[in-house]
Amino acid sequence: MNSQMLMYLLIGVGALFGIILVAYFILQKNNKEAKYIRQLQEGTKTSTFSTEIIYQKLYIFYLKTPFLKRYLLKVRRRLEIVNIDDEYLTRMQAAKILTRSFLIVIPLTIVIVALTKNNTLLMSILLIFEIFLLDTFIDGRVDKIDNNLLKQQINFFSEIRHAYHEFNMVEEAIYQTAQDDDNPEMARQAEKIYEVLISDDPESELEKYYDIAPNAYLKEFAGVSYLTKEFGDRKVDGASLYLKNLNNITQEMQLEILKRDKLDYVFQSLSVIAIVPMLCLEPIKNWAISQFNFVEDFYTGKNGMLVQILILITTFVCYILTRKLKDNGSTNMNTKNTENPWQEKLYKIKIVKKFVDLFIPKEGTKEARKIKMTMKESASKDKIEWLYINRILLCVVSFIVSLVFFVQLHRIAIKNVYEDPTTTYDIIGEMSEKDKKTAMELTESDNEYIDYFKGKNDLKQADIEKAMQRGNVNKDYVDGKDETRQEAAERIMNKIKMVKSEYLSWLEVLGAMIIAMIAYMAPVWMLKFQKKMREMEMEDEVMQFQTIILMLMRIERVNVEIILEWLERYSNIFRDPISKCVNDYESGPWEALEAMKEEVTYHDFIRIIESLQAAVEKIPIKDAFDELDTERDYYQEKRKESNERLIARKGMIGKGIGFAPMVILFVGYLIVPLVFIGLMSMTSSFSSMSSMSSM
Beta strand ranges found along 286-369 (DSSP E): none
Give 609-651 pLDDT, tens digit per residue: 888 888 887 778 878 887 776 676 777 777 778 778 878 888 8
Give 325-365 pLDDT, tens digit per residue: 776 444 344 444 455 677 888 888 888 888 888 888 888 78
Residue range 572-580: mean pLDDT, rounded:
84
CA 102 – CA 468 distance, rounded (Å): 61
Closest to 81 in 3D by CA, of 197, 204, 210: 210
Give yes or no for residue 131 having a pLDDT over 60: yes
Q: Please report, for residues 220, 254, 257, 329, 643, the alpha-carbon distance to residue 247 in angstroms, rounded to integers and kept in the order given.
A: 12, 10, 15, 21, 20
Residue 684 is predicted with a pLDDT of 59
Residue 551 is predicted with a pLDDT of 83
**Torsion angle in degrees (nearest 10) through CA of 686, 299, 516, 116:** 170
Give me the helices (H) in 326-349, please.
342-347
Residue range 272-295: mean pLDDT, rounded:
79
Contact (CB, 8 A) for 625 and 611? yes
Q: What is the pTM of this model?
A: 0.68
CA 107 – CA 113 distance, rounded (Å): 10
Q: Over pLDDT 70: what percentage of the chain? A: 82
**DSSP-derived secondary structure letter, 334:** -
- Long-range contacts formed by 675-682: CB under 8 A, 24+ apart: 677/294, 677/295, 677/298, 678/292, 678/294, 678/295, 681/294, 681/426
Residue 330 is predicted with a pLDDT of 40
Give 427-449 pLDDT, tens digit per residue: 554 566 676 777 777 777 777 77
Residue 328 is predicted with a pLDDT of 46
Q: Over pLDDT 90: what percentage of the chain? A: 1
- In this predicted structure, which of 8-12, 456-460, 566-570 has the lowest mean pLDDT? 8-12
Q: Please report, for residues 166, 190, 416, 567, 671, the alpha-carbon distance to residue 405 in angstroms, rounded to integers and kept in the order given.
A: 73, 57, 16, 52, 25
Residue range 307-322: mean pLDDT, rounded:
83
Q: Which amino acid is at 505?
A: S
Residue range 114-122: mean pLDDT, rounded:
72
Average pLDDT, the chain: 77
Give 59-99 pLDDT, tens digit per residue: 888 888 887 887 788 788 878 777 776 788 888 888 888 88
pLDDT confidence bin for 517, thresholds 50/70/90: very high
Contact (CB, 8 A) for 300 and 288? no
CA 112 – CA 135 distance, rounded (Å): 18
- In this predicted structure, which of 5-14, 145-154, 287-296, 414-423 has the lowest mean pLDDT? 5-14
Residue 3 is predicted with a pLDDT of 52
Give yes or no for residue 166 having a pLDDT over 80: yes
CA 502 – CA 490 distance, rounded (Å): 19
Give 368-427 pLDDT, tens digit per residue: 888 888 887 776 777 888 888 888 999 999 899 888 888 888 887 778 777 776 665 555
Count of Cβ atoms closer than 10 Å to residue 512 Cβ: 20
